[in-house]
Structure 1
């Protein structure tokens, strides 16, 4: 598995998202996903939305995925 494939799959499922994926060992990854679709959702629901884009790869080809999920407004507030 590679970061580009993960990025592509998340982008397909959350087309409005800005995504940054890192992971050098091919099984452990970190991703920051920024999407307006997360508005009003708790962190667990946001993570489930991202996991749904990856389907059966989670727990298989992708052993671990650490997520940071934000709305655009949250990112803007964080960067002030």
Structure 2
């Protein structure tokens, strides 16, 4: 498993404006940007991003995932403080 494979899993499941993924071999860091997050609770946002990764988490390919979600407006305002991942 690598960052590109994680990115593909998430992109195939969700319609995102931007997706940034880093992966060190065990821990993935994900920044997901979409207006779909605007009406979701924090837990629902996390669940939406983690769902496509569940098989990789279950089989141990990914041991930990850090997720940050933003609407496009939030991302435009805050992105200078959130990169690099």
Show the counterpart of 1:72. Answer: 72
Normalising by structure 1, we get a TM-score of 0.85
- RMSD of aligned Cα (Å): 1.7
Show the counterpart of 1:36. Answer: 35
List gaps (5 residues or longer) in structure 1.
none
Show the counterpart of 2:8. Answer: 8
**Which whole-Å CA distance do the structure 1 matches of 2:55 and 2:79 have between them?**
34
Does the 8 Å CA contact 2:17/2:72 hold for their aligned counterparts?
A: no
**Which whole-Å CA distance do the structure 2 matches of 1:63 and 1:79 have between them?**
26
List gaps (5 residues or longer) in structure 2.
81-85
Does the 8 Å CA contact 2:20/2:31 hold for their aligned counterparts?
A: yes
**Which whole-Å CA distance do the structure 2 matches of 1:68 and 1:16 have between them?**
13
Does the 8 Å CA contact 1:22/1:30 hold for their aligned counterparts?
A: yes
Aligned length: 79
**Cα distance, 1:79 vs structure 2:** 4.9
Show the counterpart of 2:45. Answer: 46
**Cα distance, 1:6 vs structure 2:** 0.3
> Greater helix share, 1 or 2?
2
